[in-house]
Structure 1
Amino acid sequence: MKVFKTGAAAAVAVTLALSATACAGGSGKSGGGSGDGAGKKDKLVVGIKFDQPGLGLKTPDGKYTGFDVDVATYVAKELGYEADQIEFKQAVSAERENLIANGDVKFVVASYSINDKRKEKVDFAGPYFLAHQDLLVRADETSITKAEDLNQKKLCSVTGSTSAQNVKTKLAPEADLQQLGGYSECLTGLENKAVDALTTDNSILAGYAAQEKNVGKFKLVGLSLSNENYGIGLKKGDKELQTKINAALRKMVQDGSWEQFVKKNFGPANYKNEPAPQITEGS
């Protein structure tokens, strides 16, 4: 009986060891990852916008499209991850820093403008795109050619938008500012002539104007009311990842992929984009 007990105990020990090994192989927070894509079980969790056509959009069939999605996919591949190893997580503007700090995502690619306040909480790689605040108007609009023309006109943006306040306080104080829940609502108002212009980053405006259902209906005025350098947000102090992402961004520009992504996502809006910006973060 003693021999039997010893053998049973050994079998249990082996079983437990195998179970622990199996669990260890697939454990760890998916947002963290190994950084090199080793092992098909690994997932790279990336934060993107789900509601911005041309930049980051989750379509009704569950697919993801947009410039930021293409950039994120390219960077992930350079880090060693295939497309089926990427898990996209919604990163609304107010939650981007929290997602990074908590390790819920490895990095964020979500029209994420680099500024000093944000750099107190996260680090950035890039920038990979330079946008400007602009105005979107109806295609047949001829009376709005500069920001000052918005005085006495109805200007739409989303609630809490810094873009709208920039126009209202500095450029056209007599504009009738309409703040709605989302850019799509502003676009509907613009089409129905309930408002005269919509303001935010030109990349976001171009994304909406480039949608198949909107082609030919709207146009960008072509102003540069502010400079918005989009960066890839990552955990503060992760210099290794920052260096790897910067290298991927440089390669993306050099091999022509960056220009291809721009034309693919913004081309139908006749968007005149800036050249790819020089990478300054981490250097």
Structure 2
Amino acid sequence: MKLRKVSAASAAVLALALTATACGGDDKDSGSSGGGDKKITIGIKFDQPGLGQKTPDGYAGFDVDVATYVAKKLGYTEDQIEWKESKSADRETMLQRGDVDFIAATYSITPKREEKVDFAGPYLLAHQDVLIRADEDKIKSPEDLNNAKLCSVTGSTSAQNVKDKLAPKANLQKYPTYSACLNGLQTGAIDALTTDDSILAGYASQSQFKGKFKLGGFKMTNENYGIGVKKGSDLKGKINDALEAMVSDGAWEKAVKDNFGPADYKNEPAPKIGDVKS
């Protein structure tokens, strides 16, 4: 009888211990803000040097730096970020389907896009510009692009916009990629390449092109880069708070210099949240 009493008591103690252990495990999981399988999925470009690029060492660029900073402010460490390629034509669909939590991918804020998604920001004011050879002295304004060989990347409307509005005699040359345009610019096969100045600065900042090209500084359009989120998402306000913190603590300016500095990019000051330039 005595042995049976001890066994019953032991069983009761063991049951209590197991219950306490289970409760302790639940408390740890629910109270850990950065543990477990917590992840955030962020859309970026994978093929834009200086902005969003997949490299053998990971991911690099201004958009990557901005997105990483924002994610940290939202409570995620770098190893909890899952990067997903967001091509221009896929961005709205990716957000609507919930494939990503937010997108930072040279994503200009426009009324048409705002019908489908929400934007935090803007976090960078870019402009359509041209990239020319460093020793070029004849192209000093958009009008000087008349009769010049202007690179048009397949699928882009930038060069056609220049021809339609500023230089009707520009000779458009179609190339498959920006890299191909740069090679043509280097060899003299083309005279200028046009797209957003931030994108041009990113390409020109690559080590193999350092000192070979310069930006025209024409500021032909305003491109307000925002961070896209799903329509109605409460992330918009939280991301705006993070962007304001990034500017105030100097991290934004550092990211600009780190990614665009070699191209002598004359960036605009950090835009105010909600101030979208037309």
Where do 5+ consecutive residues of structure 2 fail to align? 1-21
Q: Residues 199-278 of structure 1 correspond to what in structure 2 (within 5 A)?
A: 199-238=194-233, 240-278=234-272
Q: Which residue of 2 aligns with 1:43?
A: 39
Q: Is the 8 A contact 2:121 2:273 kept in 1?
A: yes
Q: CA deviation at 1:121?
A: 0.7
For residues 200-223 of structure 1, give each alpha carbon's deviation from its aligned partner in whole angstroms, at most 9, with x where no partner exists.
000000001111111011000111
Q: Which residue in the other structure is 2:123 paired with?
A: 128
Residue 3 of structure 1: aligned partner: none
Query: Root-mean-square deviation (CA), in Å?
Result: 1.9
**What secondary structure does 2:127 align onto?**
strand
Q: Write out aligned runs for 1:160-171 (5 A).
A: 160-171=155-166
Could you say if the C-alpha distance between residues 237 and 281 of structure 1 is closer, same or farther in structure 2, counting changes exceeding 3 Å?
Answer: farther
1:154 maps to what in 2?
Answer: 149
Aligned partner of 1:113 among 101, 108, 111: 108
Report the residue type matching 2:193 in the other structure: L
5 Å-filtered alignment, 1:68-147, equals 68-147=63-142
Counterpart secondary structure, 2:50: coil
- In 1, Cα distance between equivalents of 2:110 and 2:125: 13
CA distance in 2, matches of 1:136, 1:281: 27
CA contact (8 A) 1:68 1:111 kept: yes
Pairwise CA distance, 1:38 = 4.6
Greater C-alpha Rg: 2
For residue 180 of structure 1, the aligned residue among 175, 191, 200 is: 175
| Counterpart in the other structure of 2:12 | none
The answer on whether the counterparts of 1:37 and 1:79 sit within 8 Å (CA) in structure 2 is: no
Return the alpha-carbon distance in structure 2 between the equivalents of residues 66 and 85 of structure 1: 18
Listed one character per residue, the Cα deviations across residues 111-153 of structure 1 (whole Å, up to 9, x for unaligned) are: 0000001011100000000000000001111000111111111
Q: Give aligned pairs, total.
A: 249
Q: Does the CA contact (< 8 Å) of 2:128 and 2:218 recur in 1?
A: yes
- Per-residue CA distance 1:20-56 (angstroms, 9 max, x = gap): xx9xx9xxxxxxxxxx955331111100000000000
Contact 2:152 2:160 in 1 (8 A): no
Percent of paired sites with the same residue: 64
Deviates more, 1:266-275 or 1:160-169: 160-169
- The equivalent residue for 2:15 is none
Aligned structure 1 segments of 4 or more residues deviating by more than 6 angstroms: none
Q: Return the match for 2:273 from 269, 275, 279.
A: 279
Aligned counterparts of 2:47 and 2:57: Cα–Cα separation in 1? 12
- Counterpart Cα distance in 2 of 1:273 and 1:44: 29
Greater displacement, 273-282 / 173-182? 273-282
